[in-house]
A and B are shown apart, each in its own frame.
Chain A
Amino acid sequence: ETGVTQTPRHLVMGMTNKKSLKCEQHLGHNAMYWYKQSAKKPLELMFVYNFKEQTENNSVPSRFSPECPNSSHLFLHLHTLQPEDSALYLCASSHPNKASGGLGGELFFGEGSRLTVL
């Protein structure tokens, strides 16, 4: 139990569907992240939110739409996805701007949402 909860754990959707992934953290962190983990590819950072403001969008297609209503919740809205978007989507949180030592830089990950696009 890392304190970061993702739902659903598994999702199958068609290319015309609209669905959302949810992430919730109970750690009091101020930064939240979406990562994409595909088979045989490096971990890809998608979005970063710091104090509810998006600070990083790593050239992600617009069919992925993040939402961060508060520092504890992060959503990833999915619309007209492609089969190549099938992957494990990982949410993480951290304290930003911590100096080295202590919790500096440590990300706390959820267990991921396994997405299959048919």
Chain B
Amino acid sequence: GNSVTQMEGPVTLSEEAFLTINCTYTATGYPSLFWYVQYPGEGLQLLLKATKADDKGSNKGFEATYRKETTSFHLEKGSVQVSDSAVYFCALIHYNAGNMLTFGGGTRLMVKP
């Protein structure tokens, strides 16, 4: 079946540091890939997505590139801010497998001033 593996957190960074959160997936064919973010006290919201190999999703300074050869979708940001502190979830959907999102376990990011 489909699965998503994320690096375990928490990840603690200083403001303006470079961020990478690793995500790898297992799925047959060509799933679509997503990053969701959950700020404290809130539900999840879509951060970015990519729907085919080599696509790059980007939003709010975050980027992730769909790498079919390494089955990865790592999240990056060049300079994090305190306001980026949140839990980040990698997810995939396979349109030939019930259209259900499969989530990774989430990675907590803490950014210190």
| A interface residues (Cβ-Cβ under 8 A, vs B) | 2, 4, 6, 41-43, 45, 48, 56, 90, 92, 96-97, 99-101, 104-112
A111:B42 contact, CB within 8 angstroms: yes
Q: Which of A41, A43, A104, A108 contacts B51 (CB 8 A)?
A: A104
Q: How far is the CA of A104 from the CA of B93 in the complex (A)?
A: 9
Please report whether the interface of chain A is mostly helix, strand, loop or mixed according to DSSP: loop
B104:A42 contact, CB within 8 angstroms: yes
A42:B95 contact, CB within 8 angstroms: no
A100:B51 contact, CB within 8 angstroms: yes
Q: Which of A2, A6, A41, A105 contacts B101 (CB 8 A)?
A: A105
Q: Which of B32, B43, B52 contacts A2 (CB 8 A)?
A: B43
Q: How far is the CA of A114 from the CA of B93 in the complex (A)?
A: 27
Q: How far is the CA of A94 from the CA of B19 in the complex (A)?
A: 30
Q: Which residues of A contact B95 (CB under 8 A)?
A: 99-100, 104-105
B58 to chain A, nearest CB (A): 16
Q: How far is the CA of A42 from the CA of B102 in the complex (A)?
A: 10
Q: Which of B41, B42, B49 contacts A106 (CB 8 A)?
A: B49
B32:A100 contact, CB within 8 angstroms: yes
B103:A109 contact, CB within 8 angstroms: no
B68 to chain A, nearest CB (A): 14
In the A-B complex, list the 7 residue pairs whose CB atoms are closest, starting with the nearest.
A109-B43, A105-B93, A100-B51, A109-B44, A42-B105, A43-B103, A111-B43
B41:A111 contact, CB within 8 angstroms: yes
Name 23 A/B residue pairs within 8 A (Cβ), A-sorted: A2-B43, A4-B43, A42-B103, A43-B89, A43-B103, A43-B106, A48-B100, A56-B100, A92-B43, A92-B44, A99-B95, A100-B32, A104-B95, A105-B32, A105-B93, A105-B99, A105-B101, A107-B36, A107-B46, A109-B43, A111-B41, A112-B42, A112-B43
